[in-house]
Amino acid sequence: MRFKSTRDKAVHLTSAEAIKIGISRDGGLFVPENFPSVSVTDLATMCKMSYQERAQYVLSLFLTDYTEDELAGYCAKAYADEKWGGSETTPVVRIDDTMSICELWHGPTCAFKDVALQMLPHLLTGAMRKTGEDKTVVILVATSGDTGKAALDGFCDVDGTKIIVFYPENGVSSMQKLQMTTQSGKNVYVAAINGNFDNAQTGVKEIFSDREFEQLMAKSGHVFSSANSINFGRLVPQVVYYFSSYCDLVERGELKLGDKVNFTVPTGNFGNILAGYYAKRMGLPVNKLICASNKNNILTDFIKTGVYDRNRDFYMTASPSMDILISSNLERLLYTLSDEDDKLVASYMNELKEKGVYTVTGAIREKIAESFACGFCDDDETKAIIGKTYGEHKYVCDTHTAVAVGVYEKYRRETGDTTKTVIMSTASPFKFCKDVLEGLNVTEEMGDFERLEKLESFGVKAPASLATLREKEVRFSEVFDKSDMRSAVKEFLKI
Ligand SMILES: *Cc1c(COP(=O)(O)O)cnc(C)c1O
C-alpha cells in the first residue's frame, strides 16, 4: 500500500514515510491509494476476535510495510487491558431498541483520542527505524483540549521524541487544562496561546511549512512531525472501532451479519467520522454516517448546501473539542469523492485560505448526501439532552456525546429511519463536569473536584486519572501570543 497527497497524487510514499512526515510538503494530507476490502466472511472472522486482534487486522491492511509481529506487539501495548479499564476496550452500551452508545473514552486520558494516540508513538518510532531517521522527532500539537493530553500521555518519555502542545488559553475546560499543565515527563512542553483552536492549528501548520525553520531544526538534530488527525497514523486506529462495535452488536445478537447500521459522530476536525467513511468504503455495512455539530455548524451547512464558508462567527460552546471552523480531514473526503482530483482539491483549499469559502461540484454534493446526514445542537439543547438521557435511561453522557444523541434523535424523528444506530461517545462526562451537572439540574457554584464528587452521586464512577489530578503540581503556565508560537518552540528546544 502506498500513500498519495490529496494535493498531488504523484506523491508515492510508504506508510512509514507518511506517518513520519505527518503532512505532505505540498500542504496536502496523505491518503491510501485504495481501500482494502473486507468481505462479510472476513467480518464473521473478525467477530470472533479480541479488540487487539481486530486492531491488528485492520492496521495490517493499510500499513503493509510493518510486519504482523510489529503490529501485534503495538496492539498488545496500546490496547493492554490495564490501560483501558478491562478487556472491552471500547464497550458498546445498549440504550434502546435502535440506539447504542460506543464508549471510546476508557483509555488513560478519558477521551476517544487515546484510541489513536496510544498507538501513534509505536507507529512513529517504528517509522523512524524503518526510514533510518536519526534525528529527534519533535511532535507539534494544536489542541482543542483532548488531543493535547492524549498525545502527551502517549509520547511521555518515549525515546527519540519530544512533544510540544499548544492549547487556546480560554478554549478548554478546567479539567482539560489541569490534565495538560500537570503532565509529567522530561520530553514534554505545554504552552497556552491567546487565540482559539483554529489559530493554534493554523500556527502549527505554518511552522510545518516554514523551510527556514526546518533547516534551523535540522542543524540542531530535530525533525518535526504531527500527532494531529492530519497524520494518517491517527486515522487507521480509528477505523478499527467502527468494525469492532459492529462485531460486538452481531456477537450479542442485536444485529444480523450483513445488516446495515448508522453511526452518529460528534464532529470537529472530521477525523473520527472520516474513519467511519473509510470503514464503509472497505465494506462495513453502513447506512448513514450522521455528522453532529454544535453551534459551530459549518459542517451541517456544508453537507446540506455544498458550500463551505468559514466567514462566520466562532462560538465557544459546552463541547469545546468541536469548536472548530476548519475541519482539516474534510480534504481527504473531497479527494476521494472527486475521484482523486488533486488539482480540484488544491483549488478548494486555496480558496478556503484566500477567501474563506469554496463550493463543491454537484456530483460531489450528491455523493456526500448518499453517505452522510447531519445536524447540530446548541448548548441549551445539549444540556437538555443530558438531563433527558439520564431521566429516561439512567445514562450520563458528556457534552460532546449529548450533541450526537440530540442530532440522532432529530434525525430519527425527521426521517423515520429505524436502522440500528451506534453513537460514538467521545469523552468521559467527568472531563466536563460543570456543563454535565447543569444538564442534570445542578447549578450551584463548586470547585472542580467537588463537582467530580457531585457527579458521582448520579451513579457513575470518576476515572482515577482525573480524581488524582488534585494532588498534582502545575508545571506549565506560560501564555504566548498566537504570532509567537515559533518562539515557544525555540525556547523549549533551546535552539
Ligand atoms: C476531538 C474530539 C471530537 C471531534 O473529533 P474529530 O475527529 O476532530 O471530528 C469530538 N469529541 C471529543 C470529546 C473530542 O475530543
Q: What is the pLDDT of residue 177?
A: 94
Q: Which residue, judged by its Cα, is nearest atom 2 of ligand 1?
A: 321
Q: What is the pLDDT of residue 209?
A: 83
Task: Write out pLDDT tens, residues 374-390.
Answer: 999 999 999 999 999 99
CA 221 / ligand 1 centre spacing (Å): 33
- Any residues with Cβ below 6 Å from ligand 1, and which? 111, 113, 146, 229, 266-272, 321-322, 400, 426-427
Q: What are phi and psi of 223, to 5 degrees?
A: -140, 140
What is the average pLDDT value for the chain, to the nearest integer? 96
Pick the atom of ligand 1 nearest to 145's CA.
15
pLDDT at 280 over 90: yes
Q: How far apart are CA 290 and CA 274, in angstroms?
A: 11
- Which amino acid is it at 139? I
Rounded to a whole number, what is the distance in angstroms from the first to the last CA of the chain?
37
Q: Which residue, judged by its Cα, is nearest atom 8 of ligand 1?
A: 269
Other C-beta atoms closer than 10 Å to the C-beta of 85 total: 16
Pick the atom of ligand 1 nearest to 398's CA.
13
Cα distances (angstroms) measured from residue 208 to each of 10, 21, 203, 247, 248:
21, 10, 9, 39, 40
Contact in structure between 181 and 174 (CB atoms under 8 Å): no
pLDDT cut 70: percent of the chain above it:
100
Task: Write out pLDDT tens, residues 211-270.
Answer: 899 999 999 999 999 898 889 999 999 999 999 999 999 999 999 999 999 999 999 999
CA 320 / ligand 1 centre spacing (Å): 9
pLDDT at 402 over 90: yes
Q: What is the pLDDT of residue 193?
A: 95
Q: What is the pLDDT of residue 107?
A: 97
Pocket test for ligand 1, best of 272, 293, 324, 423 (most atoms within 8 A of CB): 272
Q: Which residues are catalytic?
A: 113
Pick the atom of ligand 1 nearest to 426's CA.
13
Cα distances (angstroms) measured from residue 26 to each of 4, 8, 35, 225, 308:
11, 7, 23, 15, 22
Over range 296-312, report the average pLDDT.
98
Pocket test for ligand 1, best of 265, 426, 430 (most atoms within 8 A of CB): 426
Q: What is the pLDDT of residue 228?
A: 87
Pocket test for ligand 1, best of 269, 332, 382, 435 (most atoms within 8 A of CB): 269
Q: What is the pLDDT of residue 145?
A: 82
Task: Write out pLDDT tens, residues 442-454.
Answer: 999 999 999 999 9
Q: What is the pLDDT of residue 87?
A: 81
Q: What is the pLDDT of residue 188?
A: 97
Q: Which residue, judged by its Cα, is nearest atom 11 of ligand 1?
A: 426
Q: What is the pLDDT of residue 331?
A: 98
Cα distances (angstroms) measured from residue 80 to each of 116, 147, 441:
14, 20, 37
Q: What is the pLDDT of residue 189?
A: 97
Q: What is the pLDDT of residue 173?
A: 86
Q: What is the pLDDT of residue 414?
A: 97
Pick the atom of ligand 1 nearest to 113's CA.
15
CA 240 / ligand 1 centre spacing (Å): 16
Q: How far apart are CA 295 and CA 297, in angstroms?
A: 5
Other C-beta atoms closer than 10 Å to the C-beta of 184 total: 12
Q: What is the pLDDT of residue 164?
A: 97
Cα distances (angstroms) measured from residue 479 to each of 71, 476, 483:
39, 9, 12
CA 334 / ligand 1 centre spacing (Å): 20
Given pLDDT bands bounded at 50, 70 and 90, which one contains residue 198?
confident
Count how many Cα atoms sit within 13 Å of the Cα of residue 75 in the half-sphere of its side chain: 24
Q: What is the pLDDT of residue 56?
A: 98
Tell me the whole-structure pTM to 2 decimals: 0.95
Task: Write out pLDDT tens, residues 51-76.
Answer: 999 999 999 999 999 999 999 999 99
CA 272 / ligand 1 centre spacing (Å): 7
pLDDT at 479 over 90: yes
Task: Write out pLDDT tens, residues 173-183.
Answer: 889 999 999 99
CA 303 / ligand 1 centre spacing (Å): 18
Given pLDDT bands bounded at 50, 70 and 90, which one contains residue 208?
confident
CA 434 / ligand 1 centre spacing (Å): 19
pLDDT at 25 over 90: no
pLDDT cut 90: percent of the chain above it:
92
Q: How far apart are CA 242 and CA 229, in angstroms?
A: 17
Contact in structure between 165 and 190 (CB atoms under 8 Å): yes
Pick the atom of ligand 1 nearest to 324's CA.
8
Q: What is the pLDDT of residue 197?
A: 87
Q: What is the pLDDT of residue 205?
A: 85
CA 349 / ligand 1 centre spacing (Å): 22
Pocket test for ligand 1, best of 113, 289, 321, 325 (most atoms within 8 A of CB): 321
Pick the atom of ligand 1 nearest to 427's CA.
13
Over range 420-448, report the average pLDDT.
96
Task: Write out pLDDT tens, residues 351-367.
Answer: 999 999 999 999 999 99
